[in-house]
A and B are shown apart, each in its own frame.
Chain A
Amino acid sequence: SQQGEEDPQALSIQEGENATMNCSYKTSINNLQWYRQNSGRGLVHLILIRSNEREKHSGRLRVTLDTSKKSSSLLITASRAADTASYFCATPTGGGNKLTFGTGTQLKVEL
């Protein structure tokens, strides 16, 4: 199975609501990253959390990391239609800077 599995696969919410996505991974990591992809385009790096951090904030984003459970969550607060995208977690693997991406969560924010 994959290094990073995310749930839910798809999430549909109303504008203004919060969206939570979860990521589980299998091997030890030194950091975990979240990326956003708008409609089949390139990925944009959102936030990186290191293994010695439990929570990190960036604007409306809040990421948590539980290394004992090998899981992370991404919370988007007060969602907007522009947040509609696919969200992927990614973990470094094989040494160096290679990344393994999770299965992704497709978020739709409706007006």
Chain B
Amino acid sequence: SAVISQKPSRDICQRGTSLTIQCQVDSQVTMMFWYRQQPGQSLTLIATANQGSEATYESGFVIDKFPISRPNLTFSTLTVSNMSPEDSSIYLCSAGTGPGHNEQFFGPGTRLTVL
């Protein structure tokens, strides 16, 4: 298993600004993912954070809007750029320990409100 922390836990931001969310895992993991959960909705995968290379984005998400870094096997960041009220969501990171271990472990989430 893996224990995941996220910072900040919540934030209120102004339109047009950017916020970087940090995700720290207590052990080295193969896979890290970023999800968005809009109010009252399910989770939607934004991207897979790849260690040492560019993230792999899902349809509808682009690097300019959601740049992601993953400098090592325990840490990743997601930036929400040029925010608008529609970006108000919970952002969650998760980790998977790789082939043969299908379950994912989730951080507590970052609740973002954009005014």
Contacts and interface: CB of A to CB of B under 8 A. Distances in A.
Interface of A: 2, 31, 33, 35, 40-45, 48, 88, 92, 96-104
Interface of B: 4, 30-31, 33, 37, 42-45, 48, 90, 92, 94, 96, 98-99, 101-109, 111
Given A88-B42, A96-B31, A98-B45, A40 B103 contact: no
15 contacts: A33-B102, A40-B111, A41-B109, A42-B106, A42-B108, A43-B92, A45-B105, A48-B102, A88-B43, A96-B48, A97-B98, A97-B104, A98-B33, A103-B42, A104-B42
Contacts of A44: 106
A97 B42 contact: no
Contacts of A96: 31, 48
Contacts of A97: 30-31, 96, 98-99, 101-102, 104
A40 B90 contact: yes
A97 B42 CA distance: 18
A82 to B, nearest CB: 18
Query: Main SS of chain A's interface residues?
Result: strand
Given A98-B33, A99-B45, 12 more contacts: A33-B103, A40-B37, A40-B90, A40-B111, A41-B108, A42-B92, A43-B43, A45-B104, A48-B102, A48-B103, A97-B99, A101-B44
Contact of A31 (B45, B102, B105): B102
Contacts of B31: 96-97
Would you list the 8 A-B pairs with minimal beta carbon distance, nearest first?
A42-B106, A97-B96, A43-B106, A42-B108, A45-B103, A101-B43, A101-B42, A97-B31
A100 B45 contact: yes
A35 B35 CA distance: 14
Contacts of A100: 45
B44, B90, B103, B107 — which one has the most chain A CB atoms within 10 A of its CB? B103
